[in-house]
Structure 1
Amino acid sequence: MKKYIYALITVVATQITYAQVSSQEKRKDSIDTTEILEEVLITSASREIQRRSDVPGSIATINTKTIEETKAFGIDQLVNQVPGVFMSTSRVASNEQHFMAVRSPISTKALFLYLEDGLQIRPTSVFNHNALLEMNDVSYRRIEVLKGPASSIYGSEAIGGSFNFITKNPSDKLSGSVGFQTNDLGLSRYEFEISDSVNKNLGFYLGGFHGKRQDGPIEHSDYEKTAITFKTVFDISDTTNWTTVFDLIDYRSDMTGSLSEADFNSRDFESDQTFTEREAIAFRVRATVSTFWNDYNKTSFNLIVRDNRMDQNPSYRVRQFRNQGQLTGFGSGEINSNQFKSYVGLMQHKLDFNFANSSLIIGATFDYSPQEYVAETTDIFVDPETGRNTGFTINSGDFILNYDANIFNYAGFFQYEISPINAFKITAALRYDGFEYDYDNLTDGIVGVDDAVDTFNNLTPKLGVNYNFDTRSGIYANYSQGFTPPQVSTLYRNRNELKGIKPSRFNNYEIGGYFSSSPKIKFDAAIYLLEGENTLITLRDQDDNFFNTNAGKTRSYGLEYGITWTPIKEISLTHNGSYAHHRYVDFFDQGIDYSDTDRETAPNLLGTSLITYRKAINQYLGFSVTAEHELVGEYNTSFEGQVENEDGTFDTATYDGHHVFNLRATASYKGFEVWTHALNIFDELYAARASFNRFRGENSFTIGNPIAFHFGARYNF
């Protein structure tokens, strides 16, 4: 494992509350009192702690209690409890590699922003849809999901939603845990945590895990991952705080690829792949210094260093050659390597006024990220009898791309809030972003485009209002814009044929509200309209290769809602769901007009329902049992794909959707915990994602989990 040594001076604003409470209280890692009160505090809307009732947007919090109760061994088991969120992954085959859908089809596009303590884990324009595998899920005490564009604060890629993972704070006294998890999907995982306060001003947290999968129910699905997070909090004074967080992720996984329709339906889980894989090593260190100058002024200074490398022999680039429909025994593929380093600075100042409960946030940020990217072709050997890809050779020097790119993003932003009356708040925000890609083709005249300097800029507004009837109910409305510049590899991979990729812009209109009746009933809902211009989509060319291009206009609209009913203290019933439509408004492909048609891999219905029974026998002994239902509705698998019926007519290729039922049970005695999960208890055959293969004339499937049993144990001290 590569060694990293960096020295930084900095730290984190998001760990300090508005009130100037004692430094020791700010480091407590017990369940937040805000998770007990109706007025939940969040940080995702502005990087500043504020009441949920002051945020004119759809935001959900997965608190410490939910994380502890769920005992998730994948982030998807948590975020999929949020209305309208679907993290599509196969725990049996994908190994944390995933797709995402929030106010958008299930896709790999740069429509989602992943944050740790309010700061991006990757630079703009180097998005990877698998970025969550670069996270350490042991270290999180809370997850906040802000749906809809948040570009006015966070910049580009915050379109469908922003996922903010809040790390655990040091504890007052020496504490920690050791744990083990295993299942019959071939997974085993070892976890540890330790936390303490060296003195009243300095505390630390260290947590991580090592997990691996071997010999799972589907072939070629092994993986291994080590994740470590180290955090220190130093209270320089009662008003100044210095936090540093170090993350290191080392990951390797087979890439199983998708199954054909025949193999899927017959439950033949023999993979066609034998060598495709993904390796990633991600290092991040960030430091934040935050200080209250007085009762009305607070400033935060942040410095971040990132060092990432991802190497792939990707299954989605493998092509098998055919002659008159018969396999020839040969094919093509590629290997690629994407490496970047980042140097990021962010300053934010908050000023409170003695006028109409108003406040102003102003800030500026820069992100300088030099990137190296190389992709070379491979020759694939195929067994014509079985269709298995048995081996490959690298065509060294036969480049698809080979470049360096210096990526520079600079921005300034402000957000102003004012309450003319106590129940009514207006929020206005504006951000300016500038981007510069300095592209250096290392194979001039051989492959790729000429050296270039490309610039993009954007001005992103947001306007929202809140009206709160009381501390437990309110309504809001907002208009916001989102902006996504082209990804660097996408821009220069496609420029020769498509004359460049255009930035995507989105306009979001939203109305929502929330209501709670003591602890008995909690309800929230949102109606939204998201209109996209130059939306980036993926197509296949005549040689069955994937490429990216812009659709003219798209439109997504829908309803998201969540309700929790607690009839008695021990029982709670929760249903989170969404109903949406995702359409092409203006789109042509190969001279055919697909305007006013449904988009592919875009289910109308998503939902999660839970029934939980909790019982505390005494102060030492307790248990909980949860029954869970996951729903994914029917969707088209292609906008152009047609399947022939027995009567000779044609229908659009579709996936029927699925219903999956899970059971979870946990028991605790003093510091010991044991739990078990029964996944897909009715052994439903389903796909984490289905797509249409136009060359085979049928769907292909990323397999979902078969019936499985998961066991875990932990000792807390």
Structure 2
Amino acid sequence: MKYILTCIITLSLATFNYAQESEKKNNQSVPSEELLEEVLVTSASREIQKRSEVPGSIATLNAQSIEETKAFGIDQLVNQVPGVFMSTSRAASNEQHFMAVRSPISTKALFLYLEDGLQIRPTSVFNHNALLEMNDLSYGRIEVLKGPASSIYGSESIGGSFNFITKAPSQDLSGSLSFQRNDLGLTRYEFEISDQPSKKFGFYLGGQYAQREDGPVAHSDYEKTAITFKTVYDINATLKWTTVFDIIDYRSDMAGSLSEADYTAGNYESEQTFTEREAIAFRARSTFDKLWNANNKTSFNFIIRNNQMDQNPSYRIRQFRNQGQLTGFGSGEVNSNQFRSYVGLIQHKLDMNFANSSLIVGATTDYSPQNYQAETTDVLVDTQTGRNISFTTNTGDFILNYKADILNYAGFFQYEISPIASLKITAALRYDAFEYDYDNQVDGIAGVDDTVDTFNNITPKLGANYNFNRSFGIYGNYSQGFTPPQVSTLYRNRNELRGIQPSRYHNYEIGGYFTSRSKITIDAALYVLEGRNTLITLRDENDIFFNTNAGSTRSYGIEYGITFRPNKNISITHNGSYAQHRYIDFFDRGTDYSDTDRETAPSLLGTSLITYRKELNKNTRFSITAEHELVGSYNTSFEGQIQNDDGTTATATYDGHNVFNIRATVTYKAFEIWGHALNIFDELYAARASFNRFRNENTFTIGNPLAFHFGARYNF
């Protein structure tokens, strides 16, 4: 810890000195787009702010970054942010993913996914695969705010908040048609059209259809259709009306993880043959922005969501064994989760003449009725191959069957003041109340008795920015985060031994940011995240997953991003993080695991990029990027030990990996073609590795092998 603190202080002082020297050496004016304070963000308050006024670690992927990356998965974008690791297998996972930001690689409700600053799912109905319910073609910018942001956005924004900002209508009629294909079995078609036919009205329409067939991992096909329609209507000079409609139709096989023997031998025949996930998501948002005068603005937001996710999940299948040998039988489940949401949010901003201060106040109500059913299945297992070859649903044999009316209402404020020109102080407070009205549809058969559960929380935040000049500043903040139990988790696990409690977090952070005439940009943050009642997943004595609370946890580390542009054609970027994730107070089955490393928690994460851009003439340009992805080693189990055949023990670990990719794009007039070479050294690696104590081995979600991706687009 002392070493990390020394490093960041040294870096800050060196940066300050460099900034002073740079200003002395050059008295010429600096273009406004190159100044730190002109970097605009919205993620911290739903209002446009200068980066230099946000007391937190925030990163932006702008339109140029998105365009150059030509991503066919959201992970290719957000993994460019320091300290972010979206763990997905492009070879098999089909947008199903894990996430790690200031936390281990997990499926927990520690992240908030937003579209234009508004949640895409209600609190307490989190799904770690929620990003598959979005249309990545429609993003014009992505902002990632790391650490708790509960004081503005509400619960679940613990590790970070991901704000996907939809594209604005173009001034003139424009659009594109594109096609992508790779040897991972993926084919994708896209279209966009945008226009502003009058001074007051504009629209954007973008859609995609993706399909995977016969990928390198067995049982990994999928299909997805995604459409986004956005309109912007300037009713008059002071009133703007924005609407956004999203519809996502998704179906995917669930290949599951590979055994250690199959992983190392390159045998990617999945144990599953029938597991799958289907999702259909509809969202409609209507926003009215009213400018009352130069100092007062109100935003009125109305949202409707209608979602259904049906699963025959691979992670619920259990194969029966007798003295370690497969019996040919197993069990599983099918489940269905449907919810509708009716959301209202009002936010008002008042700019004051006193000390350049401003006040944001707001309130929100989210009413989301939910239906959930889960029934058992009988599974037939091939004892020779270990594959699950068929299943039968035990209709009426419910694990859960309930309706729950979920009500979340909240009020919040954020006050900013600059007592001196170089100092900005931010204070925020939010009150949340949750009510789960649980109605068991199979009383006496499964689940708990009808009940009403309530949770409430007050979440503060205090931060400050100090800007030494127009290119260098530092910040510090204290913030809290709060996560109520997920509805399905609460009622699936509810008994005296496993009662689920809300998780609370305390975040302490300092950081700095620097830019110098577009030559070099540095952003760094040092943080400590203390967790209480952190939700974790364990296996019981019957090899069945369940959720419970750990007593307390601590994550601490440093995140940094450095970009160097020696000239207008070349940029060199390195984004990295070093962190430790520890159990401070944790017991399992009578054993004390306090003061131990958490599982699936790599200390090192990093992405390095070297990009060369060249404009050959007014019609032709190209770019090429070399990319290095680093994931450090980690324990795969908090229990920490594997029993070897000779009776000795070894630590259950994953060695980490280094993956190298190359991307290139050529543009000629209205045509673009691009190619990706993925994992060019064909390294065997895992998107995630975990330990199965019943098999006494690691299991692996396979990363993509050497693969080539091709795309072409016509712009008009």
TM-score of the aligned structures, taking structure 2 as reference length: 0.95
Matches within 5 A, 1:79-478: 79-478=78-477
Residue 502 (structure 2) aligns with: 503
The two structures, once aligned, show a CA RMSD in angstroms of: 1.1
Matched, 1:482 2:458: no
Count of matched residue positions in the alignment of Structure 1 and Structure 2:
686
- Counterpart CA distance in 2 for 1:36 and 1:477 is 21
Residue 711 (structure 2) aligns with: 712
Displacement after TM superposition at 1:496 (Å): 2.6
Maintained 8 Å contact 1:94/1:255: yes
- Counterpart CA distance in 1 for 2:44 and 2:697 is 43
Displacement after TM superposition at 1:652 (Å): 2.0
Residue 651 (structure 1) aligns with: 650
* Cα deviation 1:689-715 (Å, max 9, x = unaligned): 000000010000000000000000001
Maintained 8 Å contact 2:498/2:548: no
**SS state at 2:355 partner:** coil
Report the AA paired with residue 474 of structure 1: G
Report the AA paired with residue 238 of structure 2: T
Report the AA paired with residue 344 of structure 1: V
- Counterpart CA distance in 2 for 1:335 and 1:416 is 48
Report the AA paired with residue 142 of structure 2: I
* Cα deviation 1:341-361 (Å, max 9, x = unaligned): 000000000000011000000
Residue 675 (structure 2) aligns with: 676
- Counterpart CA distance in 2 for 1:151 and 1:268 is 44
Gaps of 5+ in 1: 1-31
Maintained 8 Å contact 2:321/2:327: yes
Displacement after TM superposition at 1:646 (Å): 7.3
**SS state at 1:498 partner:** coil
Residue 541 (structure 1) aligns with: 540
**SS state at 2:534 partner:** strand
Residue 17 (structure 1) aligns with: none
Deviates more, 1:182-191 or 1:563-572: 563-572
Matches within 5 A, 1:22-33: none
Report the AA paired with residue 591 of structure 2: I
After superposition, the Cα gap between the structure-2 partners of 1:537 and 1:201, relative to the gap in structure 1 and judged at 3 Å, is: same
After superposition, the Cα gap between the structure-2 partners of 1:602 and 1:499, relative to the gap in structure 1 and judged at 3 Å, is: closer
Displacement after TM superposition at 1:229 (Å): 0.1
- Counterpart CA distance in 2 for 1:311 and 1:406 is 20
Residue 594 (structure 1) aligns with: 593
- Counterpart CA distance in 1 for 2:411 and 2:293 is 24
Report the AA paired with residue 593 of structure 2: Y
- Counterpart CA distance in 2 for 1:647 and 1:335 is 40
Matches within 5 A, 1:550-569: 550-569=549-568
Matches within 5 A, 1:654-665: 654-665=653-664
- Counterpart CA distance in 1 for 2:672 and 2:445 is 60
Residue 77 (structure 1) aligns with: 76
Residue 618 (structure 2) aligns with: 619
Matched, 1:63 2:74: no
Displacement after TM superposition at 1:643 (Å): 1.6
- Counterpart CA distance in 2 for 1:567 and 1:204 is 39
Report the AA paired with residue 536 of structure 1: L
Gaps of 5+ in 2: 1-30
* Cα deviation 1:577-620 (Å, max 9, x = unaligned): 00000000000000000000000000000000001110001111
Report the AA paired with residue 389 of structure 2: T
Maintained 8 Å contact 2:181/2:710: yes
Displacement after TM superposition at 1:172 (Å): 1.1
**SS state at 1:356 partner:** helix
Maintained 8 Å contact 1:410/1:435: yes
- Counterpart CA distance in 1 for 2:320 and 2:64 is 53
**SS state at 1:293 partner:** strand
Maintained 8 Å contact 1:220/1:256: yes
**SS state at 1:564 partner:** strand
Matched, 1:639 2:638: yes
Displacement after TM superposition at 1:499 (Å): 5.1
**SS state at 2:262 partner:** helix
Maintained 8 Å contact 1:570/1:614: yes
- Counterpart CA distance in 1 for 2:540 and 2:36 is 55
**SS state at 1:492 partner:** helix
Maintained 8 Å contact 2:37/2:50: no
After TM superposition, what 4+ stretches of structure 1 lie above 6 angstroms from structure 2? none
* Cα deviation 1:66-94 (Å, max 9, x = unaligned): 00000000000000000000000001100
Report the AA paired with residue 589 of structure 1: D
Deviates more, 1:686-695 or 1:493-502: 493-502
Report the AA paired with residue 139 of structure 1: S
* Cα deviation 1:466-502 (Å, max 9, x = unaligned): 0001221100000000000000000000003535200
* Cα deviation 1:492-543 (Å, max 9, x = unaligned): 0000353520000000000000011111110110000000000000000011
Of all paired residues, the percent bearing the same amino acid is 79
Maintained 8 Å contact 1:639/1:652: no
Displacement after TM superposition at 1:568 (Å): 1.6
Maintained 8 Å contact 1:34/1:41: no
- Counterpart CA distance in 2 for 1:519 and 1:359 is 30
**SS state at 1:684 partner:** coil
After superposition, the Cα gap between the structure-2 partners of 1:63 and 1:33, relative to the gap in structure 1 and judged at 3 Å, is: farther
Maintained 8 Å contact 1:312/1:335: yes
Maintained 8 Å contact 2:36/2:515: no
- Counterpart CA distance in 1 for 2:530 and 2:520 is 33
Maintained 8 Å contact 1:494/1:547: yes
Maintained 8 Å contact 1:426/1:464: yes
Maintained 8 Å contact 1:668/1:674: yes
TM-score of the aligned structures, taking structure 1 as reference length: 0.95
After superposition, the Cα gap between the structure-2 partners of 1:383 and 1:580, relative to the gap in structure 1 and judged at 3 Å, is: same
